[in-house]
Chain A
């Protein structure tokens, strides 16, 4: 097994899980409101994490947290911000256009971040092969969201 197969599998499973999750959350959002549903969903995730990780909250964990740069904790803030932005744009642009724009911007920013190694993650240069992969993906996205 090649070294990239397992991480790739993790990425694909994550995508499938998020697709199911988005269905559930969309229905929930239609019932009680988008921000409220984001709150409920984050709360559910937190509670599950508290149960799963109960034996891992030791001195070592808090020591690590103390040493970690604070700006890395802002992922959750961005999550709520994304929900609010989606709430503004979806009624005007529609779900399909919003999603394709989100994914496009996401892929382009990920490629840039990979190339320059943003946030201290290991850099991966844009090669001809990888840019061809990105181009094919964006073309495929246009076809999928055509109708």
Chain B
């Protein structure tokens, strides 16, 4: 039974990667920020549909909701746009490793000082070593040496034959 949930998580991670790649490809066609906009509007509509169908995970109220929670979505818009730009330039793998590195660094920092959360988790030496290894991984994965020359992306008019 446990294995099923592990499988679920792995599928979730694959979907995460697919989402990034699809958005990056869409960004080639319509521009990074507008690709992010399309991602968000489709997500909004689909989420609304799920809620209307009756799938609930909690009690939905907007009452007493501090305005700065809406900031999360505003950040997400630019995060997706930046990732779209990076994936096209240096590839999804290097982008994801750099992304993970700074995600870990920032969450460790937030944990260490207890910002945005109730309890502080001090930075352990093991965690520092781990982050250092990820940083080495970024250097190895992103600096291009002996990498094939990129062939140009197919132009827009070839994308969907009429």
Residues in A lying within 8 Å of B, measured CB to CB:
2-4, 6-8, 10-25, 27-29, 31-50, 52-53, 56, 61, 64-65, 67-69, 71-82, 84-89, 92-93, 97-98, 101-107, 109-111, 113-114, 118-125, 127, 129-130, 132-137, 139-147
Contacts and interface: CB of A to CB of B under 8 A. Distances in A.
A43 B62 CA distance: 13
A15 B86 contact: no
Interface class of chain A by DSSP: helix
A147 B125 CA distance: 11
A33 B57 contact: yes
B127 A75 contact: no
A11 B17 contact: no
B12 A85 contact: yes
Interface centre among B15, B20, B68, B101 (most CB of A within 10 A): B15
Contact of A89 (B5, B45, B140): B5
B93 A41 contact: no
A47 B2 CA distance: 40
A44 B75 CA distance: 9
Contacts of B110: 19-20, 23
Nearest to B10: A105
Contacts of A2: 143
A24 B141 contact: no
A140 B130 contact: yes
A52 B31 CA distance: 14
B59 A33 contact: yes
Given A92-B2, A101-B13, A137-B97, A121 B92 contact: yes
15 contacts: A11-B94, A27-B69, A31-B65, A35-B47, A76-B40, A86-B12, A87-B57, A101-B9, A105-B10, A113-B92, A119-B22, A124-B148, A140-B133, A140-B134, A143-B129
A123 B152 CA distance: 10
A114 B139 CA distance: 17
A97 B157 CA distance: 44
Contacts of A81: 12, 15
Contacts of B92: 110-111, 113-114, 121
B120 interface: no
Given A129-B140, A137-B141, A143-B133, A7 B75 contact: no
B157 A122 contact: no
B29 A68 contact: yes
Interface string B6-19: 10111111111111
Contact of A141 (B69, B82, B83, B134): B134
Contacts of B135: 140
A23 B156 CA distance: 38
Contact of A133 (B21, B55, B69, B141): B141
